[in-house]
Amino acid sequence: MNASVSTQQTPALYGGKSSRRVTVRDISAAKRRGEKWPMLTAYDAMTASVFDQAGIPVMLVGDSMGNCHLGYDTTVPVTLDEMVMLSAAVVRGTRRALIIGDLPFGTYQESPAQALRSATRLVKEAGVGAVKLEGGERSADQIRLLVESGIPVMAHVGLTPQSVHAFGGHPVQGRGEEAAQQLLRDAKAVQNAGAFAVVLELVTAELSAEVTRSLHIPTVGIGAGAECDAQVLVWTDMAGMTEWPGGRTPRFVKEYARLRETLGDAARAFAEDVVSGAYPAEGHSFH
Ligand code: KIV
């Protein structure tokens, strides 16, 4: 019985017919098949259910919720309680996608034991299937303990937004021989520690391609060129909800809708109907 299960083909991550939840084993199988896949962030049950029904196989409850959902300037202030609450909502709103919860700044850097305590809350209280944390070599011990404890980990190297104050902004990573070698070491360190995938953020396309070729785990690119195994976008950026400073959309973002405009138009139309008395009409009223 077990042998026949283990030799079964795993379904395609996107466009597959399976209705069970995607697992990290499916993700490893996709890398072996050379199959590319999409990942989006999600922060609430309703939006997550839309993405789930659209077939998005992997969703990240990213600490980008700090900027996109909670009104902070950076990801740094996001707390574990906030992450647990919104991750639980995304899990409740989905049936098929693998849901990954981000470990917020200050909830894992101190020690592997601290990382395990935080990740355990996300798995037990929110029901996520995996966690993500930032850092390469510096986070390897944390990743190893989580994986040994049965918690799948997605790593995140390159530009790591929780270190925004140290980076002094959002510079592209991996430029120059020394930086490129360090990034390669970071990517290999997280793979060796047991991560099932690694996000490459704001990394040159050439270096991402080299990292992707040299790892057996999938790379998930954001601003990291076309050669990564998967691509992730923050959903509010992807859907044209984000208001960019000076109206300048970053180069790596592609807007697939103009939701900010659509929502604004809907709100204005509602307001005008209320002011003019056109809403509620007879058909919206009870007698
Ligand atoms: O928090 C987040 O949304 C992320 C993605 C950009 C990878 O870390």
Provide φ and ψ at 248, rounded to 5°: -95, 105
Give residues (CB < 6 A) around ligand 1. 41, 60, 62-64, 102, 156, 199, 222, 232, 234
Atom of ligand 1 lying closest to residue 39 CA? 7
The angle that helices 177-193 and 140-148 make with each other, rounded to 10 degrees, is 20
Atom of ligand 1 lying closest to residue 75 CA? 1
Atom of ligand 1 lying closest to residue 232 CA? 7
The single residue listed with the structure tokens 């070599």 is 137
Q: Is the pLDDT of residue 7 over 60?
A: no
Q: Which CATH number fits domain 2-235: 3.20.20.60, 3.40.228.10, 3.20.20.120, 1.10.8.60?
A: 3.20.20.60
How does residue 1 score in pLDDT terms, banded at 50, 70 and 90?
Answer: very low
What pTM was estimated for this model as a whole? 0.95
How does residue 197 score in pLDDT terms, banded at 50, 70 and 90?
Answer: very high
The angle that helices 45-53 and 80-92 make with each other, rounded to 10 degrees, is 40
CA of 282 to the centre of ligand 1 (A): 47
Nearest CA owner, ligand 1 atom 6: 234
